[in-house]
A and B are shown apart, each in its own frame.
Chain A
Amino acid sequence: MHIDHFMTFGTFAEQRYYTYPNIDTYKGVVINGNMASHAPEGLSQFLLEKTKSISYIIDPITHAFQHDVSYVTSIDKKTKAVKVKSSIEKLANIYGPPFSDIIGVKPINPSDFTTQTIKDSCKKCLDFQLTHLSKIMVESSTNKKYLDLSVTDLHPYTLIAPYFFMDETTFDKWLELQILFIQEAIKLKAEKNKLFAAIVLSIGVISDENLRTKLINSYSKLDVDGYLIWIDEFDEHSASINELKDLVEFGRALRNNKTKEVINLHGSYFSILAAGQLGDSAFTGIAHGPEYGEYRAVIPVGGGIPFAKYYIPKLHQRVKYKVAQRIFKEKGWLENIELFQDKICNCDVCKKTLENNPNNFLKFGITTPKEFVRSTGIVRIDYPISQTKEICLLHYLERKAIEYKFSATASIVQINSDLDEGIKLFEEVIGEKGVSHLKKWKTALNK
Protein backbone atom coordinates (compact mmCIF):
# COMPACT_ATOMS: atom_id res chain seq x y z
CA MET A 1 0.00 0.00 0.00
CA HIS A 2 1.21 3.51 -0.72
CA ILE A 3 -0.06 6.96 0.19
CA ASP A 4 0.75 9.79 -2.20
CA HIS A 5 2.41 12.60 -0.32
CA PHE A 6 1.73 16.05 -1.73
CA MET A 7 2.85 19.40 -0.43
CA THR A 8 1.17 22.68 -1.25
CA PHE A 9 3.45 25.42 -2.53
CA GLY A 10 3.73 28.45 -0.28
CA THR A 11 6.57 30.81 -1.14
CA PHE A 12 9.82 30.63 -3.05
CA ALA A 13 11.65 30.94 0.25
CA GLU A 14 10.41 27.44 1.03
CA GLN A 15 11.35 25.75 -2.22
CA ARG A 16 14.29 23.83 -0.80
CA TYR A 17 11.90 21.88 1.45
CA TYR A 18 10.26 20.10 -1.43
CA THR A 19 13.15 17.68 -1.62
CA TYR A 20 13.40 17.18 2.13
CA PRO A 21 14.00 14.73 3.70
CA ASN A 22 14.57 12.97 0.38
CA ILE A 23 14.26 13.88 -3.26
CA ASP A 24 11.51 11.33 -3.73
CA THR A 25 9.54 12.05 -0.53
CA TYR A 26 6.80 13.92 -2.35
CA LYS A 27 4.61 12.66 -5.14
CA GLY A 28 3.89 16.19 -6.16
CA VAL A 29 3.43 19.81 -5.33
CA VAL A 30 0.11 21.68 -5.51
CA ILE A 31 0.47 25.21 -6.84
CA ASN A 32 -2.21 27.85 -6.60
CA GLY A 33 -3.29 29.23 -9.95
CA ASN A 34 -2.58 32.83 -9.03
CA MET A 35 0.99 31.90 -8.12
CA ALA A 36 1.37 30.13 -11.44
CA SER A 37 0.01 33.13 -13.32
CA HIS A 38 2.19 35.56 -11.39
CA ALA A 39 5.55 33.79 -11.29
CA PRO A 40 5.66 31.16 -14.02
CA GLU A 41 9.39 31.46 -14.69
CA GLY A 42 10.32 31.00 -11.06
CA LEU A 43 7.94 28.10 -10.65
CA SER A 44 9.15 26.46 -13.84
CA GLN A 45 12.71 26.67 -12.62
CA PHE A 46 11.65 25.32 -9.24
CA LEU A 47 9.88 22.36 -10.80
CA LEU A 48 12.57 21.55 -13.34
CA GLU A 49 15.78 22.24 -11.52
CA LYS A 50 15.18 22.42 -7.78
CA THR A 51 12.97 19.36 -7.47
CA LYS A 52 14.21 17.29 -10.39
CA SER A 53 10.88 17.34 -12.17
CA ILE A 54 8.51 16.62 -9.31
CA SER A 55 4.89 16.19 -10.41
CA TYR A 56 2.73 19.23 -9.99
CA ILE A 57 -0.91 20.18 -9.92
CA ILE A 58 -2.16 23.70 -10.63
CA ASP A 59 -5.18 24.49 -8.51
CA PRO A 60 -7.16 26.93 -10.69
CA ILE A 61 -8.68 28.50 -7.50
CA THR A 62 -11.79 29.56 -9.41
CA HIS A 63 -13.53 29.71 -6.04
CA ALA A 64 -11.56 32.90 -5.26
CA PHE A 65 -13.89 34.82 -7.56
CA GLN A 66 -17.03 33.91 -5.67
CA HIS A 67 -16.06 35.60 -2.40
CA ASP A 68 -16.33 39.21 -1.33
CA VAL A 69 -14.14 41.45 -3.51
CA SER A 70 -12.20 42.59 -0.47
CA TYR A 71 -10.42 39.23 -0.54
CA VAL A 72 -9.07 39.79 -4.03
CA THR A 73 -8.28 43.49 -3.70
CA SER A 74 -5.73 45.51 -1.82
CA ILE A 75 -5.05 49.17 -1.17
CA ASP A 76 -2.29 50.80 -3.19
CA LYS A 77 0.17 52.25 -0.68
CA LYS A 78 0.89 55.34 -2.77
CA THR A 79 -2.47 56.24 -4.24
CA LYS A 80 -4.62 54.63 -1.53
CA ALA A 81 -6.84 53.36 -4.33
CA VAL A 82 -8.41 49.93 -4.07
CA LYS A 83 -7.06 47.65 -6.75
CA VAL A 84 -7.35 44.00 -7.66
CA LYS A 85 -4.36 41.92 -6.58
CA SER A 86 -2.25 41.59 -9.70
CA SER A 87 -1.93 37.80 -9.56
CA ILE A 88 -5.70 37.40 -9.30
CA GLU A 89 -6.25 39.91 -12.10
CA LYS A 90 -3.89 37.97 -14.33
CA LEU A 91 -5.81 34.79 -13.60
CA ALA A 92 -9.15 36.46 -14.29
CA ASN A 93 -7.89 37.71 -17.65
CA ILE A 94 -6.59 34.26 -18.51
CA TYR A 95 -9.97 32.68 -17.79
CA GLY A 96 -11.84 35.42 -19.61
CA PRO A 97 -15.50 36.34 -19.15
CA PRO A 98 -17.28 36.33 -16.82
CA PHE A 99 -14.23 36.15 -14.49
CA SER A 100 -12.53 39.06 -16.21
CA ASP A 101 -15.76 41.07 -16.24
CA ILE A 102 -16.58 40.87 -12.55
CA ILE A 103 -13.16 40.84 -10.92
CA GLY A 104 -12.90 43.56 -8.31
CA VAL A 105 -16.49 44.60 -8.98
CA LYS A 106 -18.59 41.87 -7.42
CA PRO A 107 -18.44 38.20 -6.47
CA ILE A 108 -19.16 35.81 -9.30
CA ASN A 109 -22.49 34.00 -9.36
CA PRO A 110 -23.83 31.05 -11.33
CA SER A 111 -26.14 33.49 -13.12
CA ASP A 112 -23.07 35.26 -14.55
CA PHE A 113 -22.33 32.23 -16.71
CA THR A 114 -23.84 31.37 -20.08
CA THR A 115 -23.44 28.13 -22.00
CA GLN A 116 -20.80 29.78 -24.13
CA THR A 117 -18.81 31.30 -21.28
CA ILE A 118 -18.82 27.96 -19.47
CA LYS A 119 -17.24 26.38 -22.56
CA ASP A 120 -14.81 29.19 -23.21
CA SER A 121 -13.63 29.73 -19.63
CA CYS A 122 -13.35 26.00 -19.04
CA LYS A 123 -11.10 25.64 -22.07
CA LYS A 124 -8.98 28.58 -21.01
CA CYS A 125 -8.72 27.25 -17.47
CA LEU A 126 -7.58 23.82 -18.65
CA ASP A 127 -5.19 25.26 -21.25
CA PHE A 128 -3.70 27.46 -18.57
CA GLN A 129 -2.99 24.47 -16.37
CA LEU A 130 -1.62 22.44 -19.29
CA THR A 131 0.67 25.01 -20.84
CA HIS A 132 1.40 27.95 -18.58
CA LEU A 133 4.34 26.30 -16.87
CA SER A 134 5.10 23.45 -19.26
CA LYS A 135 5.78 25.74 -22.21
CA ILE A 136 8.37 27.64 -20.19
CA MET A 137 9.91 24.44 -18.87
CA VAL A 138 10.20 22.83 -22.30
CA GLU A 139 12.01 25.88 -23.70
CA SER A 140 14.38 26.25 -20.78
CA SER A 141 18.08 25.72 -21.27
CA THR A 142 18.07 23.09 -18.52
CA ASN A 143 15.57 21.02 -20.42
CA LYS A 144 17.24 21.49 -23.78
CA LYS A 145 20.70 20.68 -22.45
CA TYR A 146 20.07 17.96 -19.94
CA LEU A 147 16.54 16.61 -19.79
CA ASP A 148 15.10 16.80 -23.28
CA LEU A 149 11.57 16.37 -21.99
CA SER A 150 8.62 17.01 -24.24
CA VAL A 151 5.88 19.42 -23.32
CA THR A 152 3.64 16.42 -22.68
CA ASP A 153 6.16 15.05 -20.20
CA LEU A 154 5.93 18.39 -18.42
CA HIS A 155 2.16 18.51 -18.16
CA PRO A 156 0.68 18.63 -14.69
CA TYR A 157 -0.12 15.41 -12.87
CA THR A 158 -3.79 16.12 -13.37
CA LEU A 159 -6.06 18.88 -14.62
CA ILE A 160 -8.64 20.35 -12.27
CA ALA A 161 -12.01 21.47 -13.64
CA PRO A 162 -13.21 24.91 -12.52
CA TYR A 163 -14.90 24.68 -9.15
CA PHE A 164 -16.61 26.68 -6.46
CA PHE A 165 -17.09 26.45 -2.72
CA MET A 166 -20.37 25.09 -1.37
CA ASP A 167 -21.77 25.11 2.12
CA GLU A 168 -25.15 23.85 3.32
CA THR A 169 -26.88 27.06 2.24
CA THR A 170 -25.24 27.42 -1.19
CA PHE A 171 -25.06 23.78 -2.20
CA ASP A 172 -28.05 23.84 -4.50
CA LYS A 173 -26.98 27.18 -5.95
CA TRP A 174 -23.57 26.00 -7.13
CA LEU A 175 -23.91 22.27 -7.75
CA GLU A 176 -25.35 22.41 -11.25
CA LEU A 177 -22.74 24.85 -12.53
CA GLN A 178 -19.92 22.72 -11.15
CA ILE A 179 -21.26 19.62 -12.86
CA LEU A 180 -21.56 21.53 -16.13
CA PHE A 181 -17.94 22.64 -15.85
CA ILE A 182 -16.77 19.11 -15.17
CA GLN A 183 -18.75 17.72 -18.07
CA GLU A 184 -17.25 20.37 -20.32
CA ALA A 185 -13.77 19.59 -19.05
CA ILE A 186 -14.28 15.90 -19.78
CA LYS A 187 -15.09 16.76 -23.40
CA LEU A 188 -12.10 19.07 -23.72
CA LYS A 189 -9.33 17.10 -22.13
CA ALA A 190 -7.06 14.85 -24.10
CA GLU A 191 -7.05 11.12 -23.39
CA LYS A 192 -3.54 11.23 -22.04
CA ASN A 193 -4.32 13.85 -19.40
CA LYS A 194 -5.95 13.08 -16.09
CA LEU A 195 -8.90 15.15 -14.94
CA PHE A 196 -9.95 15.63 -11.35
CA ALA A 197 -13.01 17.32 -9.98
CA ALA A 198 -12.27 19.60 -7.05
CA ILE A 199 -14.86 19.44 -4.29
CA VAL A 200 -14.57 22.28 -1.80
CA LEU A 201 -17.14 22.16 0.96
CA SER A 202 -18.08 23.04 4.46
CA ILE A 203 -18.16 20.09 6.86
CA GLY A 204 -21.87 20.77 7.15
CA VAL A 205 -22.45 19.44 3.64
CA ILE A 206 -20.68 16.18 4.34
CA SER A 207 -22.37 15.78 7.70
CA ASP A 208 -25.80 16.26 6.18
CA GLU A 209 -26.84 12.84 4.92
CA ASN A 210 -29.17 14.22 2.24
CA LEU A 211 -26.63 16.66 0.87
CA ARG A 212 -23.84 14.12 1.03
CA THR A 213 -25.91 11.57 -0.86
CA LYS A 214 -26.85 14.15 -3.48
CA LEU A 215 -23.20 15.16 -3.79
CA ILE A 216 -21.94 11.61 -4.17
CA ASN A 217 -24.67 10.75 -6.65
CA SER A 218 -23.83 13.81 -8.76
CA TYR A 219 -20.06 13.45 -8.76
CA SER A 220 -19.76 9.68 -8.94
CA LYS A 221 -21.48 9.60 -12.31
CA LEU A 222 -18.79 11.81 -13.82
CA ASP A 223 -16.08 10.21 -15.89
CA VAL A 224 -13.19 11.82 -13.99
CA ASP A 225 -10.01 10.16 -12.86
CA GLY A 226 -10.26 11.44 -9.33
CA TYR A 227 -11.13 14.16 -6.88
CA LEU A 228 -9.33 16.87 -5.01
CA ILE A 229 -11.20 17.58 -1.79
CA TRP A 230 -10.93 20.48 0.63
CA ILE A 231 -13.13 20.81 3.68
CA ASP A 232 -13.24 24.42 4.79
CA GLU A 233 -11.20 25.05 7.95
CA PHE A 234 -11.60 21.44 9.03
CA ASP A 235 -9.21 20.88 11.90
CA GLU A 236 -8.98 17.15 12.35
CA HIS A 237 -7.51 17.67 15.82
CA SER A 238 -10.68 19.28 17.12
CA ALA A 239 -13.34 17.69 14.91
CA SER A 240 -15.99 15.43 16.41
CA ILE A 241 -16.01 11.69 15.91
CA ASN A 242 -19.05 11.93 13.67
CA GLU A 243 -17.44 14.61 11.50
CA LEU A 244 -14.32 12.49 11.16
CA LYS A 245 -16.38 9.45 10.27
CA ASP A 246 -18.33 11.45 7.72
CA LEU A 247 -15.09 12.61 6.11
CA VAL A 248 -13.80 9.05 5.84
CA GLU A 249 -17.08 7.77 4.43
CA PHE A 250 -17.08 10.63 1.95
CA GLY A 251 -13.60 9.68 0.80
CA ARG A 252 -14.54 6.02 0.48
CA ALA A 253 -17.66 6.85 -1.51
CA LEU A 254 -15.68 9.00 -3.94
CA ARG A 255 -13.07 6.26 -4.26
CA ASN A 256 -15.83 4.19 -5.79
CA ASN A 257 -14.46 0.80 -4.84
CA LYS A 258 -10.93 2.12 -5.17
CA THR A 259 -11.28 2.94 -8.84
CA LYS A 260 -10.78 6.69 -8.42
CA GLU A 261 -8.04 8.74 -6.82
CA VAL A 262 -8.99 11.05 -3.96
CA ILE A 263 -6.53 13.62 -2.66
CA ASN A 264 -7.31 15.52 0.52
CA LEU A 265 -5.74 18.92 -0.07
CA HIS A 266 -5.40 19.82 3.60
CA GLY A 267 -5.07 16.88 5.93
CA SER A 268 -3.31 15.95 9.15
CA TYR A 269 -2.23 12.57 10.49
CA PHE A 270 -5.90 11.57 10.68
CA SER A 271 -6.24 11.80 6.92
CA ILE A 272 -2.93 9.98 6.54
CA LEU A 273 -4.37 7.21 8.70
CA ALA A 274 -7.57 7.22 6.67
CA ALA A 275 -5.49 6.81 3.52
CA GLY A 276 -3.55 3.91 4.98
CA GLN A 277 -4.11 0.48 6.46
CA LEU A 278 -6.41 1.63 9.26
CA GLY A 279 -8.68 3.60 6.95
CA ASP A 280 -8.46 1.07 4.14
CA SER A 281 -7.38 3.70 1.61
CA ALA A 282 -10.26 6.12 2.04
CA PHE A 283 -7.93 8.56 0.26
CA THR A 284 -5.08 7.97 -2.18
CA GLY A 285 -3.13 11.07 -1.32
CA ILE A 286 -2.86 13.76 1.33
CA ALA A 287 -1.42 17.25 0.99
CA HIS A 288 -0.22 19.74 3.55
CA GLY A 289 1.92 22.83 3.55
CA PRO A 290 5.46 23.22 4.88
CA GLU A 291 4.56 23.08 8.58
CA TYR A 292 1.12 24.58 8.02
CA GLY A 293 -1.92 23.80 5.92
CA GLU A 294 -3.14 20.67 7.69
CA TYR A 295 -6.38 22.59 7.62
CA ARG A 296 -7.17 25.81 5.83
CA ALA A 297 -10.01 28.26 5.50
CA VAL A 298 -11.46 28.73 2.05
CA ILE A 299 -11.52 32.44 2.72
CA PRO A 300 -7.96 33.04 3.83
CA VAL A 301 -7.32 34.44 7.25
CA GLY A 302 -3.75 35.52 7.35
CA GLY A 303 -1.55 37.28 9.85
CA GLY A 304 -0.91 36.57 13.49
CA ILE A 305 2.30 36.19 15.41
CA PRO A 306 4.36 33.22 14.30
CA PHE A 307 5.18 30.96 17.23
CA ALA A 308 7.89 28.35 17.29
CA LYS A 309 6.07 25.02 17.29
CA TYR A 310 7.44 21.55 17.78
CA TYR A 311 5.73 18.57 16.21
CA ILE A 312 5.35 16.00 18.97
CA PRO A 313 5.53 12.62 17.22
CA LYS A 314 3.39 10.55 19.59
CA LEU A 315 0.80 13.31 19.83
CA HIS A 316 0.85 13.84 16.05
CA GLN A 317 0.41 17.53 16.62
CA ARG A 318 2.38 20.75 16.46
CA VAL A 319 2.43 22.48 19.81
CA LYS A 320 4.00 25.74 20.85
CA TYR A 321 7.57 25.29 21.97
CA LYS A 322 6.76 26.53 25.48
CA VAL A 323 4.10 23.83 25.83
CA ALA A 324 6.35 21.08 24.46
CA GLN A 325 9.16 22.14 26.77
CA ARG A 326 6.87 22.13 29.78
CA ILE A 327 5.51 18.68 28.93
CA PHE A 328 8.92 17.16 28.35
CA LYS A 329 10.36 18.72 31.52
CA GLU A 330 7.47 17.48 33.58
CA LYS A 331 7.82 13.95 32.17
CA GLY A 332 11.55 14.00 32.90
CA TRP A 333 12.43 13.42 29.26
CA LEU A 334 14.94 16.24 29.13
CA GLU A 335 17.18 14.63 31.73
CA ASN A 336 19.28 12.60 29.33
CA ILE A 337 19.59 12.04 25.63
CA GLU A 338 18.50 8.42 25.76
CA LEU A 339 15.17 9.38 27.29
CA PHE A 340 14.70 12.12 24.74
CA GLN A 341 15.37 9.81 21.83
CA ASP A 342 13.23 7.03 23.23
CA LYS A 343 10.24 9.06 24.38
CA ILE A 344 10.24 12.07 22.09
CA CYS A 345 12.13 11.79 18.82
CA ASN A 346 15.28 10.41 17.25
CA CYS A 347 14.87 11.83 13.78
CA ASP A 348 17.93 13.19 11.98
CA VAL A 349 16.98 16.78 12.76
CA CYS A 350 16.59 16.16 16.48
CA LYS A 351 19.83 14.18 16.59
CA LYS A 352 21.73 16.92 14.80
CA THR A 353 20.17 19.73 16.82
CA LEU A 354 20.57 18.13 20.23
CA GLU A 355 24.10 16.79 19.60
CA ASN A 356 23.65 14.27 22.41
CA ASN A 357 22.67 17.01 24.86
CA PRO A 358 18.94 17.28 25.69
CA ASN A 359 19.50 20.85 26.90
CA ASN A 360 19.82 21.77 23.23
CA PHE A 361 16.09 21.25 22.88
CA LEU A 362 16.19 24.96 23.68
CA LYS A 363 17.14 25.54 20.05
CA PHE A 364 13.60 24.67 18.97
CA GLY A 365 12.38 27.74 20.80
CA ILE A 366 14.98 30.48 20.47
CA THR A 367 13.33 33.83 19.89
CA THR A 368 14.32 37.43 19.55
CA PRO A 369 12.15 40.32 20.71
CA LYS A 370 11.06 43.13 18.45
CA GLU A 371 9.75 46.38 19.85
CA PHE A 372 6.63 48.14 18.65
CA VAL A 373 5.40 51.50 19.84
CA ARG A 374 1.71 51.46 20.69
CA SER A 375 -0.49 54.12 22.27
CA THR A 376 -0.05 52.40 25.62
CA GLY A 377 3.74 52.33 25.33
CA ILE A 378 6.34 49.93 24.03
CA VAL A 379 5.22 46.40 23.33
CA ARG A 380 7.73 43.62 22.80
CA ILE A 381 6.76 40.70 20.63
CA ASP A 382 8.91 37.62 20.59
CA TYR A 383 9.63 36.09 17.19
CA PRO A 384 11.39 32.81 16.52
CA ILE A 385 14.75 33.31 14.86
CA SER A 386 15.24 31.90 11.39
CA GLN A 387 17.31 28.95 12.62
CA THR A 388 14.52 28.03 15.02
CA LYS A 389 11.92 28.16 12.27
CA GLU A 390 14.14 26.07 10.05
CA ILE A 391 14.73 23.21 12.46
CA CYS A 392 11.09 23.16 13.56
CA LEU A 393 10.08 22.85 9.92
CA LEU A 394 12.67 20.23 9.04
CA HIS A 395 11.70 18.17 12.08
CA TYR A 396 8.05 18.44 11.01
CA LEU A 397 8.85 17.22 7.51
CA GLU A 398 10.90 14.32 8.88
CA ARG A 399 8.00 13.22 11.06
CA LYS A 400 5.48 13.65 8.26
CA ALA A 401 7.46 11.40 5.95
CA ILE A 402 7.59 8.80 8.71
CA GLU A 403 3.83 9.06 9.25
CA TYR A 404 2.98 8.46 5.60
CA LYS A 405 5.17 5.39 5.50
CA PHE A 406 3.97 4.07 8.84
CA SER A 407 0.31 4.46 7.98
CA ALA A 408 0.79 2.65 4.68
CA THR A 409 2.96 -0.21 5.85
CA ALA A 410 2.41 -0.86 9.57
CA SER A 411 -0.20 -3.30 10.75
CA ILE A 412 -3.50 -2.12 12.17
CA VAL A 413 -2.39 -3.39 15.58
CA GLN A 414 0.79 -1.32 15.40
CA ILE A 415 -1.08 1.80 14.28
CA ASN A 416 -3.61 1.48 17.09
CA SER A 417 -0.82 0.82 19.59
CA ASP A 418 0.88 4.01 18.50
CA LEU A 419 -2.30 5.98 19.17
CA ASP A 420 -2.74 4.27 22.53
CA GLU A 421 0.82 5.05 23.49
CA GLY A 422 0.28 8.72 22.77
CA ILE A 423 -2.80 8.76 24.95
CA LYS A 424 -1.03 6.99 27.78
CA LEU A 425 2.11 9.14 27.63
CA PHE A 426 0.46 12.54 27.53
CA GLU A 427 -2.96 12.37 29.16
CA GLU A 428 -1.73 12.86 32.72
CA VAL A 429 0.33 15.90 31.71
CA ILE A 430 -1.94 17.71 29.26
CA GLY A 431 -5.29 16.36 30.36
CA GLU A 432 -8.06 14.54 28.56
CA LYS A 433 -8.65 17.34 26.09
CA GLY A 434 -5.03 17.32 25.03
CA VAL A 435 -5.22 13.73 23.84
CA SER A 436 -8.87 13.57 22.84
CA HIS A 437 -8.00 13.81 19.16
CA LEU A 438 -6.10 10.53 19.38
CA LYS A 439 -9.09 8.84 20.98
CA LYS A 440 -11.49 10.31 18.45
CA TRP A 441 -9.28 9.30 15.53
CA LYS A 442 -9.09 5.76 16.83
CA THR A 443 -12.86 5.57 17.24
CA ALA A 444 -13.58 7.10 13.85
CA LEU A 445 -11.30 4.74 11.96
CA ASN A 446 -11.76 1.42 13.70
CA LYS A 447 -14.78 -0.64 12.84
Chain B
Amino acid sequence: MKNICKNKMINSENELTEVIIDYLKSMDYNVRKEVPNMGQSADLAATKGRWVTLIEAKLYNWKRAMEQCQAHESVADYIYIGIASVNISDDFYSGANKRGYGIIHCDPYTNVCRIILKAKRNTKIWNPQRQFFTAMIKDIEYAY
Protein backbone atom coordinates (compact mmCIF):
# COMPACT_ATOMS: atom_id res chain seq x y z
CA MET B 1 0.00 0.00 0.00
CA LYS B 2 1.27 3.47 -0.84
CA ASN B 3 1.52 5.88 2.08
CA ILE B 4 1.44 9.61 2.06
CA CYS B 5 3.17 11.83 4.63
CA LYS B 6 2.13 15.34 5.48
CA ASN B 7 3.51 17.68 8.10
CA LYS B 8 0.20 18.54 9.75
CA MET B 9 -1.85 16.85 12.45
CA ILE B 10 -5.38 15.95 11.38
CA ASN B 11 -7.69 18.15 13.41
CA SER B 12 -10.89 18.13 11.38
CA GLU B 13 -12.91 15.95 9.07
CA ASN B 14 -12.09 18.33 6.27
CA GLU B 15 -8.37 17.78 6.84
CA LEU B 16 -8.93 14.04 7.05
CA THR B 17 -10.80 14.16 3.75
CA GLU B 18 -7.89 15.96 2.09
CA VAL B 19 -5.41 13.37 3.39
CA ILE B 20 -7.59 10.54 2.09
CA ILE B 21 -7.94 12.27 -1.28
CA ASP B 22 -4.16 12.34 -1.67
CA TYR B 23 -4.00 8.70 -0.63
CA LEU B 24 -6.62 7.68 -3.18
CA LYS B 25 -5.05 9.77 -5.93
CA SER B 26 -1.77 8.00 -5.31
CA MET B 27 -3.64 4.77 -6.15
CA ASP B 28 -4.91 6.31 -9.41
CA TYR B 29 -8.46 6.91 -8.33
CA ASN B 30 -10.46 9.86 -9.58
CA VAL B 31 -11.91 11.48 -6.50
CA ARG B 32 -14.86 13.76 -5.94
CA LYS B 33 -15.94 15.43 -2.71
CA GLU B 34 -19.42 15.83 -1.23
CA VAL B 35 -21.26 13.53 -3.54
CA PRO B 36 -25.03 13.48 -3.02
CA ASN B 37 -26.81 10.18 -2.65
CA MET B 38 -30.50 9.94 -1.79
CA GLY B 39 -30.69 12.99 0.41
CA GLN B 40 -27.29 12.72 2.04
CA SER B 41 -23.77 13.34 0.80
CA ALA B 42 -20.91 10.88 0.73
CA ASP B 43 -17.72 12.59 1.83
CA LEU B 44 -15.80 11.10 -1.08
CA ALA B 45 -16.55 9.18 -4.25
CA ALA B 46 -13.56 7.43 -5.76
CA THR B 47 -13.94 6.02 -9.24
CA LYS B 48 -11.67 3.86 -11.33
CA GLY B 49 -13.09 2.72 -14.63
CA ARG B 50 -16.66 1.68 -13.97
CA TRP B 51 -16.07 0.95 -10.30
CA VAL B 52 -17.46 3.29 -7.64
CA THR B 53 -16.14 3.43 -4.09
CA LEU B 54 -17.85 5.68 -1.57
CA ILE B 55 -16.07 6.80 1.57
CA GLU B 56 -17.34 8.38 4.76
CA ALA B 57 -14.64 10.19 6.71
CA LYS B 58 -14.84 10.66 10.45
CA LEU B 59 -12.26 11.66 13.02
CA TYR B 60 -13.57 9.06 15.45
CA ASN B 61 -17.39 8.74 15.21
CA TRP B 62 -17.38 5.41 13.39
CA LYS B 63 -20.92 4.59 14.48
CA ARG B 64 -22.26 7.60 12.63
CA ALA B 65 -20.17 6.65 9.62
CA MET B 66 -21.64 3.14 9.65
CA GLU B 67 -25.17 4.62 9.62
CA GLN B 68 -24.30 6.89 6.72
CA CYS B 69 -22.75 4.05 4.76
CA GLN B 70 -25.97 2.08 4.76
CA ALA B 71 -27.53 4.32 2.09
CA HIS B 72 -24.45 3.85 -0.10
CA GLU B 73 -25.17 0.13 -0.36
CA SER B 74 -27.72 0.96 -3.04
CA VAL B 75 -25.14 2.47 -5.39
CA ALA B 76 -21.50 1.72 -4.49
CA ASP B 77 -19.37 -1.23 -5.50
CA TYR B 78 -17.19 -0.72 -2.44
CA ILE B 79 -17.75 1.23 0.75
CA TYR B 80 -15.06 2.48 3.09
CA ILE B 81 -14.93 4.37 6.33
CA GLY B 82 -11.97 6.69 6.65
CA ILE B 83 -11.07 7.20 10.28
CA ALA B 84 -8.43 9.24 12.11
CA SER B 85 -8.80 7.85 15.60
CA VAL B 86 -5.68 6.76 17.43
CA ASN B 87 -6.99 3.23 17.82
CA ILE B 88 -9.54 1.06 16.02
CA SER B 89 -11.94 -0.63 18.40
CA ASP B 90 -12.83 -4.30 18.01
CA ASP B 91 -16.51 -3.36 17.75
CA PHE B 92 -15.81 -1.04 14.86
CA TYR B 93 -13.63 -3.53 13.03
CA SER B 94 -16.02 -6.43 13.46
CA GLY B 95 -19.07 -4.29 12.67
CA ALA B 96 -17.55 -2.98 9.47
CA ASN B 97 -16.32 -6.43 8.50
CA LYS B 98 -19.76 -7.90 9.06
CA ARG B 99 -21.30 -5.35 6.72
CA GLY B 100 -18.58 -5.69 4.12
CA TYR B 101 -17.27 -2.18 4.62
CA GLY B 102 -13.58 -1.42 4.48
CA ILE B 103 -11.57 0.79 6.83
CA ILE B 104 -8.94 3.32 5.80
CA HIS B 105 -7.01 4.36 8.85
CA CYS B 106 -5.17 7.68 8.76
CA ASP B 107 -2.79 8.28 11.61
CA PRO B 108 -3.78 11.70 12.99
CA TYR B 109 -0.16 12.58 13.86
CA THR B 110 1.72 11.34 10.85
CA ASN B 111 -1.10 11.50 8.25
CA VAL B 112 -0.05 8.07 7.07
CA CYS B 113 -3.03 6.22 5.61
CA ARG B 114 -3.48 2.55 5.07
CA ILE B 115 -6.29 0.14 4.39
CA ILE B 116 -6.59 -2.00 7.49
CA LEU B 117 -9.75 -3.77 6.36
CA LYS B 118 -10.42 -4.36 2.71
CA ALA B 119 -14.02 -3.78 1.61
CA LYS B 120 -15.94 -6.65 0.14
CA ARG B 121 -17.71 -6.21 -3.16
CA ASN B 122 -21.18 -4.85 -2.39
CA THR B 123 -23.97 -7.03 -3.75
CA LYS B 124 -26.88 -4.87 -2.63
CA ILE B 125 -26.78 -2.39 -5.47
CA TRP B 126 -30.14 -1.47 -6.91
CA ASN B 127 -29.49 -0.82 -10.56
CA PRO B 128 -31.98 2.02 -11.14
CA GLN B 129 -30.46 3.93 -8.22
CA ARG B 130 -26.94 3.18 -9.42
CA GLN B 131 -27.76 4.46 -12.90
CA PHE B 132 -29.20 7.65 -11.44
CA PHE B 133 -26.11 8.08 -9.28
CA THR B 134 -23.58 7.57 -12.06
CA ALA B 135 -25.46 9.99 -14.30
CA MET B 136 -25.51 12.61 -11.55
CA ILE B 137 -21.88 12.21 -10.47
CA LYS B 138 -20.60 13.21 -13.91
CA ASP B 139 -21.66 16.79 -13.17
CA ILE B 140 -19.41 17.00 -10.11
CA GLU B 141 -15.84 18.13 -10.65
CA TYR B 142 -12.89 16.16 -9.39
CA ALA B 143 -11.39 17.26 -6.11
CA TYR B 144 -8.23 18.75 -7.62
Contacts and interface: CB of A to CB of B under 8 A. Distances in A.
Partners in one complex: yes
Given A365-B38, A384-B39, A326 B71 contact: yes
B54 to A, nearest CB: 13
A359 B14 contact: no
A144 to B, nearest CB: 49
A380 B36 contact: yes
Interface residue range, chain A: 20 to 34
A249 to B, nearest CB: 37
Interface in B15-35: 33-35
Interface of B: 12, 14, 33-41, 70-71, 73-74, 124, 126-129, 132, 136, 140
Given A322-B71, A326-B74, A367-B39, 4 more contacts: A362-B129, A365-B38, A379-B34, A382-B37
A379 B41 CA distance: 9
A321 B74 contact: no
A331 interface: no
What 10 A-B pairs have minimum CB-CB distances, sorted nearest first?
A: A382-B36, A322-B38, A369-B36, A359-B128, A380-B34, A322-B71, A376-B14, A362-B128, A307-B39, A382-B39
Contacts of B127: 359
A81 interface: no
State the main secondary structure of chain B at its contact with A.
mixed
B74 A305 contact: no
A329 interface: yes
A188 B70 CA distance: 59
Interface string A315-329: 000001110011001
B33 A378 contact: yes
A440 to B, nearest CB: 24
Given A325-B129, A329-B124, A329-B126, A369 B38 contact: no
16 contacts: A320-B39, A321-B39, A322-B74, A325-B126, A326-B73, A361-B128, A362-B128, A362-B129, A362-B132, A365-B129, A366-B132, A376-B14, A379-B34, A380-B41, A381-B41, A382-B40
Nearest to A308: B39
A334 interface: yes
A430 to B, nearest CB: 11
A367 B126 contact: no
Contacts of B41: 369, 379-382
Contacts of B39: 305, 307-308, 320-322, 365, 367, 382, 384
Nearest to B72: A322
Contacts of B126: 325, 329, 334
A302 interface: no
Contacts of A366: 132
B80 to A, nearest CB: 19
Contacts of B40: 322, 382
